[in-house]
Amino acid sequence: MIINVTSNSGHIYWGGFSLFWGNAIDYLPGFLAISSPNYILEFGDIDNGNGVFLTKYGQGDIEYRRQIIKL
């Protein structure tokens, strides 16, 4: 288990699973992401705009990305 937490962000890694987040600072929006070896669930404005997104990875590349909620 790896835990790296600061006042602005954090990352908790256990096995193949991760929980990472960042607070909104300056021009960067806040986000939360939960990932497994093949999927990542993103909350906030990370890569796709503000909302909730599910991304599936396969062989190191994105297989698909689904928008669940767009804010």
Query: Between 25 and 5, whose confidence is greater?
Result: 5
Residue 66 has pLDDT above 80, yes or no: yes
CA 17-64-55 angle, to 5 degrees, is: 30
Number of other residues whose CB lies within 10 A of the CB of residue 52: 16
- Domain total for the chain? 1
Residue 20: closest CA among 39, 37, 40: 40
Tens-digit pLDDT profile for residues 19-64: 999 998 888 888 999 999 999 999 998 777 789 999 999 888 989 9
Q: Are 50 and 29 in contact (CB under 8 A)?
A: yes
Q: Which domain holds residue 40?
A: 2-70
Q: What is the model's pLDDT at position 70? A: 86
Residue 71 has pLDDT above 90, yes or no: no
Query: Between 4 and 49, whose confidence is greater?
Result: 4
